[in-house]
Structure 1
Amino acid sequence: MELRKADVLIIGAGCAGLRAAIEVAKRGLRAVLVSKGLPGFANCTYYSGGVLNAPRGPEEAEEHFKLSLRVGRGLNDRSLLKRMVGDAFPRVSELEQFGVKMKFEGGRAYVLGQGPALSTALLRASESLGAKLVGRTTAFSLLIAGGKAVGALCYDYQRDAFVAFFSRAVVLATGGAGAIYKRSTNPVHVTGDGYAMALKAGLRLRDMEFVQFYPLCPADLELPTRTIPPGFAEVGRLTNPLGEDLPAKYGLVDRPLAVRSRDLLSRALFSELSSGSEPMLDLRGVPEGELAANPFMESFLRFLGRKRLLKVKPACHYFMGGIVVDERCRTGVEGLFACGEVVGGIHGANRLGGNALTDCVVFGAIAGAQAAKHASSEELVVDENLAREELEALGQLVEPAPAKSGGPERLL
């Protein structure tokens, strides 16, 4: 087994993980990011529309807080939500320092180039500051010694070898678990690893029953399960083969529908599907110029081959539940911090569109700063025996039990 060292080990290289790495590296500490796929490219950030909520000023922030709470059905952790909303504008604006080009409009920031541009800019910024990125490596168990997080066991796919990373602090930024669903907007790597590691380390999870489905995804199996921009539902018609207006049929009035009413619209479309109907997005009456004026919608229309009548079906999009943390991203294990979708409570029962990346930017920075602060006061301890004992214990869990005489029928 190979042993590696870091000041702060960050597990996950999406927006939250990269933002945490930048904060650690800015302080002159060794940040190492471990990613299951290619760092910066195998995460939900890369496939996102690059939209971040960024309310400016106290009045706008208060309205955004109330809206997020209403969309979350009042079940949000208010202290975490307040911190996110309060830090949103300065943290989102700060992205420009890292090479992210954005357009601010109506309390939101739109990344020019969408998710790929955001991921690439943060990746370059973290590397320029000295952060080390380790790809195609899966972290599967945290290393705990004396009640403190001291690293993680990983598996390197390329070399077919186990690796133990030892560090002074650990940040979990592994995202959610969307890929466990057959239909998901998430990359295949997003399988809930962070939740599993957290539970094994004795941490509490909350709100795991709240899973958001994005309502507007192509139902055609020949097309990738991508999110259709919310604006399509505002300029086109959501209907069925009978010509019924689905928002009117189900009493959906809170617009934009795919931003503020994702849960209710998904429920409505599932109702249609379960009754044998086929929900459709009808864009045939929308002038070409109206679609071309919006770069997000224009690019997606090209992706669809300029189809104007599209069958739609919800797909798993986001996990609202996750690890319990405080406002400093601290978990129940000393030296272990968490940020991004792996954390629960911020979004309540349903996430407001545009809050995911804002969450990652705000709490990624906080987690990185807090992990760096903790690491600065800790000694780096490399304990090979700890790593080997943990690996052996895990091996016993997956080894088949010894066969006993007789089959299961002997139990009858």
Structure 2
Amino acid sequence: MSRPTRTSVMRSETRRRAIRHGIGADLGSLEPDNQFLSQRLGKGWYSRPPMAAPIKVDVLVVGSGASGLAAAVSAERSGASVALVAKGALQSCNSAKAQGGIQAAFGEDDSPEQHAEDVWQSSHETADRSLVEVLTGEAPSAIHWLEELGVEFTRDNGGYRLARCGGASRKRLLQVGDRTGHAITSALRDTVEASSIRRFPKSPLNALEPSANGWRARCGEHVIDAGTVVLAAGGRCYREAEERGELSTNHPGATGEVTRIALELGAETRDYDALQYHPNGGAWPATMQGYSIPETTRAYGAVLLNADREEFTDSLGPRDAVSQAIFDEVEAGRGVETPDGRPAVYLDTTRIAEDDAEISLPYMLRRYHAGGIDPLGEPIFTFPVLHYQNGGLVIDDHGETTVDGLYACGEIAGGTHGRNRMMGNSLLECTVFGRRAGKAAAEKARG
């Protein structure tokens, strides 16, 4: 690979981001936009047919990513009748795209308490302590639950193959190669499809209002009466990126209108302005733009380099610190340009052992090889990309929002990560709080 010329990228081109304390966004931009969504999700995702006879269930779950699927399974196993609605197809979600892994304290030198301390520090002491303790305390049991559903985590020497990720003080990241999210959502989807849960794909939540017996929801062509509702519709980073003219790792359905519906019902939010950039967005080849490079590359030895091939930051630091360091390096004129003129720095993946790459990064290798690049033979280009909504709806330890009978879990909820999420905790949050919200919603609906 020929070495690009050093480039001095102007402030107007990089638009300095205040990563450490989140990126602001106007709630007013979240109104549903059917044209916007239909262009990205295809025809038939939304319609306005005549009012149908209501479908009656105990629990309605909105969203079919990892948190929604986990909530639906948990509610059904708690004895509730459940309806699961999704904007697109089941498993068409951000969770299925998650690559890096899921954290749980299984190491001999680790503990849920140490995991909690790492989360607290990564959040810059802004997370909800109670939620963090639930997250880390139930992490091992969440892993075993996923295994019962069919997830096969990568193993090594008779135990889990654990990696240390950015912001963590111990090796505690479990993986299924570098497609962990796909493995988890596939197992959850298969469990849902084998259950009595009623499924309504391409049925977005358009309206939700209190009723005498709980809630009435309009979801596409369906009217659903439910005792309780679990919102698991994810964040809004795809739409934010579109409006900013930036790239995002997010699925096109991540547009945030379900949060607007919850706000109109009186739900409260916290840290909603704090959006997260993934430090390792793919910058070249073009087929990698809008995708993330697994952060486990850095767990297995890759480091970030500037135009002079010098390390300029702790490659295993918290996400916001690493992203800000990349922005600063490029703005200072020490970045590089991709062949199509985009700002970037180097991720020196040549330092990764071939065995580690083949076991833990097979999908990444295939994607780069398809673009004519060998990541083990030459450094690759990277630049931060909009990735995750850190804050969201305020919830208690069981996922209930500030509105009685309305629950939330996954990326739509706030508090667990504060203003900065540590890598590997999103799939964990989806599993832990999806299970909790589903169970609590079922118990309340059944009285």
In the superposition, the TM-score normalised over structure 1's length comes to: 0.81
**Count of matched residue pairs:** 359
Partner of 2:297: 232
The answer to whether the 8 Å contact 2:60/2:84 transfers is yes
Distance in structure 1 (CA, Å) of the matches to 2:295 and 2:330: 20
Matched, 1:315 2:385: yes
Question: Structure 2 vs 1, CA of residues 13 and 275 (structure 1 numbering), >3 Å: closer, same or farther?
Answer: same
Displacement, 1:58? 11
- The code of the aligned residue for 2:86 comes to S
Corresponding residue for residue 153 of structure 1: 218
1:48 aligns with 2:112: no
Instruction: Supply the distance in 2 between the matched residues of 1:174 and 1:76 (Cα, whole angstroms).
Output: 21
Listed as ranges, the matches of 1:322-401 within 5 Å are 322-377=392-447
The structure-2 alpha-carbon separation of the partners of 1:25 and 1:214, relative to structure 1 and needing over 3 Å to count, comes to: same
Instruction: Indicate the larger mover: 306-315 or 263-272.
Output: 306-315
1:204 maps to which residue? 268
The amino acid that maps onto 1:231 is T
1:219–1:95 distance in 2 versus 1, CA, 3 Å: same
Which piece of structure 1 moves more, 265-274 or 79-88?
A: 265-274
Structure 1 residues 335-362: Cα deviation after superposition (integer angstroms, max 9, x where no partner): 1111111111111111111111111111
Contact 2:175–2:360 (8 Å) recurs in 1? no
* Mapped pair 1:62 → 2:121: no
What CA distance in whole angstroms lies between the structure 1 residues aligned with 2:312 and 2:153?
A: 34
Q: 1:142 to 1:31 in 2, by over 3 A?
A: same
1: CA distance between counterparts of 2:74 and 2:90?
A: 17
Is residue 265 from structure 1 mapped to residue 322 from structure 2 by the alignment? yes
The answer to whether the 8 Å contact 2:100/2:296 transfers is no
1:189 counterpart SS class: coil
Asked whether the 8 Å contact 1:46–1:116 carries over to 2, the reply is yes
Equivalence for 1:392: none
Aligned to 1:85: 136
Match of 1:71 in 2: 122
Q: Does structure 1 residue 34 correspond to structure 2 residue 85?
A: yes
C-alpha deviations, 1:93-132, integer Å up to 9, x for none? 1111111112323433323552222111101112222112
Residue 277 (structure 2) pairs with residue 213 (structure 1): yes
The aligned amino acid for 2:413 is V
Deviation at 1:152, TM superposition (A): 1.7
The answer to whether the 8 Å contact 2:330/2:345 transfers is no
Aligned equivalents of 2:431, 2:217: Cα separation in 1: 24
Question: Which structure: larger Rg?
Answer: 1
| 2:224 match | 165
Deviation of 1:88 after TM superposition, in Å, equals 1.1
Q: Which aligned pairs between 1:275-290 and structure 2 lie closer than 5 A?
A: 275=332, 277-278=335-336, 279-283=344-348, 285-286=350-351, 289-290=354-355
Question: What is the alpha-carbon distance in structure 2 between the residues aligned to residue 143 and residue 231 of structure 1?
Answer: 43
Report the RMSD for the aligned CA atoms in angstroms. 2.2
Partner deviation per Cα, 1:263-283 (whole Å, 9 max, x = no partner): 011111122333453333343
Name the aligned partner's letter for residue 256 of structure 2.
Answer: G
1:388 matched residue in structure 2: none
Unmatched runs of 5 consecutive residues or more in structure 2: 1-50, 155-159, 163-170, 337-343
**Structure 1: segments with no counterpart, 5+ residues:** 156-161, 378-412
**SS of residue matched to 1:202:** coil
1:191 aligns with 2:191: no
C-alpha distance in 2 between matches for 1:216 and 1:359: 22
Specify whether residues 108 and 152 from structure 1 end up closer, same or farther in structure 2 by C-alpha distance, changes over 3 A only: same
Contact in 1 for aligned 2:56/2:224 (Cα 8 Å): yes
In the superposition, the TM-score normalised over structure 2's length comes to 0.75
Q: Alignment partner for residue 298 of structure 1, among 362, 370, 380?
A: 362
In 2 relative to 1, CA 171–213 (structure 1 residues): closer, same or farther, beyond 3 Å?
Answer: same
Cα deviations by residue, 1:363-404 (Å, 9 ceiling, x for unpaired): 101101011101112xxxxxxxxxxxxxxxxxxxxxxxxxxx
1:90 shift after superposition: 0.9
Bigger Cα displacement from structure 2, 363-372 vs 102-111: 102-111
> How much has 1:207 moved relative to structure 2?
0.5
Contact 2:390 2:420 in 1 (8 A): yes
Q: Render the CA deviation track for 1:176-226: whole Å, top value 9, x for unaligned.
A: 111021311110101112311111111111101211110101123443422
Does structure 2 conserve the Cα–Cα contact (< 8 Å) formed by 1:151 and 1:169? no
**Given the alignment, which residue of 188, 193, 203 partners 1:137?**
203
Moved over 6 A (4+): none
TM-superposed CA distance for 1:229, in Å, is 1.6
Task: Please tell me the residue identity of whatever aligns with 1:232.
Answer: T
Q: Deviation at 1:285?
A: 4.1
